């Protein structure tokens, strides 16, 4: 068995990520630092070590190195605009006065998505901050630690943030910028693998799981979508990336159009057909 196959099998088993034969260059680039640190000369030696040792820490380091952590503030504006203008008002109208909302940023990386949601909510004036809980999760320890600190480089804050958002919600800390406490207090971050049981995370009204599914094979996509759906409120919203779909993966998930959301408990237009006995479908929104 080749080194590429051994490493790809490990990454798939532990994270769901699919690495084909064309990803050898990516392995060499992303695992280079780890191999230098561990004094491992090449991928073949790394694969041999993983096969002959039961080294949980090394396996986790390999998986984290191969995971993609690309993110930025307000990545693809449309989901945030949809949540502010349509999703959030509808959820609050369904819940009534004093509602509390829980939101999940799955595969949160270094936290920009979760904090973008928090900034949007804080500026919307639609709900008090203390009535919103945003949970960010990622399988990688390093990015989660950075998300908890809420510290970002000049380069990172220039990606997606307006000058207004930067001055309103950040404080300069030496060479970096830190999210102010009122926004940080809305968010919490946990190490969590999407392949693990997510029930302990609790139920959510809104889930952002964007630009994640296209790294998985079909069975893994279906498994993750089903698990997410089970943790969502009946009228909850699932936001996916523009290149992702639920078609052929989960018939209980219904894609929303780009300009509106269809809530599962909203009355349907009369069609003359008998009332369906199928369970309600959870709406999804794609940027």
Q: What is the domain-level CATH number for residue 130?
A: 3.40.50.150
> Long-range contact list for 213-220, CB < 8 A, 24+ apart?
213/240, 213/241, 213/244, 214/241, 214/243, 214/244, 215/16, 215/17, 215/18, 215/68, 216/16, 216/17, 216/18, 217/12, 217/16, 217/18, 218/248, 218/249, 220/16, 220/195
Domain termination site, one of 66, 92, 119: 66
User: Does residue 71 form part of some domain?
Assistant: no
Residue 267: which pLDDT band, with cuts at 50, 70 and 90?
very low
32 within some domain: yes
Residues 216 and 109 in one domain: yes
**33-44: average pLDDT:** 94
196 and 61 co-located in one domain = no
Residue 215 within a domain: yes
Assess whether 138 and 62 both reside in one domain: no
Mean pLDDT of 203-232: 92
Residue 5 has pLDDT above 60, yes or no: yes
The reply to whether 113 falls in a domain is yes
Indicate if 127 and 259 belong to the same structural domain.
yes
Question: What mean pLDDT, rounded, does the chain reach?
Answer: 86
Q: Which of 66, 86, 111 is the last residue of a domain?
A: 66
Domain assignment present for residue 155? The answer is yes
Evaluate if residue 250 carries a pLDDT over 90.
no
Q: What CA–CA distances, in Å, run from 47 to 7, 70, 241?
A: 6, 26, 33
**Domain match, 99 and 59 both:** no
Residues 220 and 252 reside in one and the same domain: yes
Residues 83 and 51 in one domain: no
Same domain, 117 and 200: yes
The yes-or-no verdict on residue 102 having pLDDT over 60 is: yes
For residue 31, what are the domain limits? 3-66
Per-residue pLDDT for 17 more than 60?
A: yes
Q: Are 133 and 101 in contact (CB under 8 A)?
A: yes
Q: Which residues pair with 246 in a beta bridge?
A: none
Winning range, highest mean pLDDT, from 72-86, 107-121, 210-224, 257-271: 107-121
The answer to the question of residue 72 being in a domain is no
Residues 60 and 127 in one domain: no
Alpha carbon separation from 247 to 186, 214, 253, 254 (Å, rounded): 33, 13, 8, 9
Does residue 185 share a domain with residue 279? yes
User: Residue 84: pLDDT above 60?
Assistant: yes
Q: Tell me the average pLDDT across 14-25.
A: 88
Asked which of 66, 85, 120 is the last residue of a domain, the reply is 66
pLDDT at 266 > cutoff 60: no
Residues 61, 103 within the same domain:
no
Tens of pLDDT, residues 109-144: 999 999 999 999 999 999 998 999 999 999 999 999
Please indicate, yes or no, if residue 225 is contained in any of the structural domains. Answer: yes
Taking 80 as the threshold, does the pLDDT of residue 185 lie above it? yes
> What single string gives the DSSP state of each residue in the chain?
--HHHHHHHHHHHHH-B---GGGHHHHHHHSHHHHHHTT--SHHHHHHHHHHS--HHHHHHHHHHHS-----TT-SHHHHHHIIIIIHHHHHHHH-TT--EEEEETT-TTSHHHHHHHHHHHHH-SS-GGGEEEEEEES-HHHHHHHHHTEEEHHHHTTT--HHHHHHHEEEETTEEEE-HHHHTTEEEEE--TTS--GGG--EEEEE--S-GGGB-HHHHHHHHHHHHHTEEEEEEEEE-TT---TTT-TTEEEPPTT----TTSPPPP-SSPPP-SPPPEEEEE-
- Pair (230, 255) in one structural domain: yes
Global pTM value: 0.85
Q: What is the count of structural domains for the chain? A: 2
CATH number of residue 51's parent domain: 1.10.155
């Amino acid at each position: 068995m080749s080194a590429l196959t051994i490493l790809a099998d490990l990454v798939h088993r532990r994270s769901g990520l699919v690495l084909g034969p064309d990803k050898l260059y990516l392995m060499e680039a992303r695992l280079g630092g780890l191999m230098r640190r561990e004094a491992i000369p090449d991928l073949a030696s790394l694969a041999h070590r993983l096969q002959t040792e039961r080294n949980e820490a090394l396996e986790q380091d390999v998986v984290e190195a191969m995971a993609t952590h690309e993110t930025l503030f307000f990545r693809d504006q449309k989901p945030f605009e949809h949540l502010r203008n349509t999703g959030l008002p509808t959820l609050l109208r369904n819940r009534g006065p004093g509602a509390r909302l829980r939101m999940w940023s799955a595969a949160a990386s270094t936290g920009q998505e979760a904090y973008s949601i928090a900034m949007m909510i804080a500026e919307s004036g639609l709900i008090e901050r203390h009535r919103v809980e945003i949970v960010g999760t990622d399988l990688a320890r390093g990015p989660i630690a950075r998300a908890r600190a809420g510290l970002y480089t000049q380069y990172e804050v220039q990606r997606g943030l307006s000058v207004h958002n930067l001055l309103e919600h950040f404080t300069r800390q030496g060479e970096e910028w830190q999210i102010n406490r009122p926004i940080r207090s809305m968010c919490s971050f946990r190490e969590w693998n999407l392949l693990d049981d997510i029930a302990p995370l609790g139920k959510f009204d809104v889930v952002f799981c964007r630009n994640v599914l296209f790294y998985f094979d079909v069975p893994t996509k279906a498994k993750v979508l089903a698990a997410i759906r089970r943790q969502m409120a009946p009228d909850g919203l699932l936001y996916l990336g523009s290149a992702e779909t639920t078609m052929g993966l989960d018939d209980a998930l219904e894609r929303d159009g780009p300009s509106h959301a269809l809530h599962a408990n909203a009355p349907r237009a009369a069609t003359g057909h008998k009332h369906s006995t199928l369970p309600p479908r959870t709406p999804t929104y794609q940027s």
